[in-house]
């Protein structure tokens, strides 16, 4: 390269995957072999480290953010399909740890909600049967280099059904993996991947009654990044 009238030189140095990860020192040398006394230090890092974007513009490894996801799956035995919507919370940590992944309810504390089930004891009930479920779950997972993994393990699960004036209590054989997600960013704010869920079995307190948590589920999911 040639200098301008004032002796200045400007050049663009492209960093490719041929550069080894680590510390490099850049110096300049003229045609006579004279080099600069002090070089400039450049650190080459894996995508996502040192607050750099991950693959496809994904958030850096130490970023904290949320994902609104939609799951589409089906029972691998019966073919019955279902959809669900959830929020994943990614908490960033200093390099090189990467982030951790959880849902708000994965705090190891009991959570209770009410609902209606339309099949009980293997028999369909069009009018529905009310129930109240209390479950406790924990999470494990990671986010790094634009890739996410998440596991939700249920450590206790109790369902109380109200049928013909009876309160029927069914307790899950826990722990079991309620869901497993794996995926990658396809753009700076969009993720997609695969979903799976193990079957759950329950023991009920009244003879002749049974509750099935379904068979193994497989499917996929998509997610949109939202602010932390």
Residue 54 placed within a domain = no
Residue 81 placed within a domain = yes
Residue 1 placed within a domain = no
Structure tokens at 87: 């929020």
Residue 4 placed within a domain = no
pLDDT in tens, 70-106: 999 988 877 778 899 999 999 999 999 999 999 999 9
**Number of folded domains that form the chain:** 1
d(C-alpha 183, C-alpha 223), whole Å: 9
Cα-only R_g, the chain:
27
User: Is the pTM for the entire model greater than 0.95?
Assistant: no
Residue 92 placed within a domain = yes
- Count CB neighbours of 23 within 10 A: 9
d(C-alpha 159, C-alpha 40), whole Å: 64
Residue 20 placed within a domain = no
- Biggest CA–CA distance in the chain, Å, is 98
Residue 30 placed within a domain = no
pLDDT in tens, 1-50: 888 899 888 888 888 889 999 999 998 888 888 888 889 999 999 999 99
d(C-alpha 191, C-alpha 73), whole Å: 17
């Amino acid at each position: 390269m040639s200098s301008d009238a004032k002796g200045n030189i400007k050049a663009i140095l492209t960093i490719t995957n041929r550069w080894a990860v680590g510390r490099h020192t850049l110096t300049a040398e003229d045609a006579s072999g004279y080099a600069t006394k002090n070089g400039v230090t450049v650190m080459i890092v894996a995508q996502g480290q040192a607050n750099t974007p991950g693959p496809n513009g994904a958030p850096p490894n130490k970023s904290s953010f949320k994902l609104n996801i939609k799951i589409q799956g089906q029972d691998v035995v019966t073919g019955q399909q279902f959809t669900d919507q959830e929020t994943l919370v990614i908490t960033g940590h200093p390099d090189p740890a990467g982030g951790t992944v959880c849902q708000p309810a994965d705090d190891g504390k009991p959570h209770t909600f009410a609902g209606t089930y339309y099949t009980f004891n293997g028999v369909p009930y069009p009018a529905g049967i009310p129930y109240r479920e209390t479950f406790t779950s924990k999470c494990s997972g990671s986010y790094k280099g634009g890739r996410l993994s998440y596991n939700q393990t249920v450590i206790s699960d109790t369902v109380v059904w109200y049928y013909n004036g009876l309160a029927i209590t069914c307790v899950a054989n826990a722990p079991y993996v309620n869901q497993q997600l794996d995926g990658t960013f396809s753009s700076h704010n969009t993720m997609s991947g695969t979903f799976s869920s193990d079957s759950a079995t329950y023991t009920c307190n009244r003879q002749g009654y049974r509750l099935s948590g379904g068979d193994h589920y497989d499917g996929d999911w998509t997610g949109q990044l939202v602010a932390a």
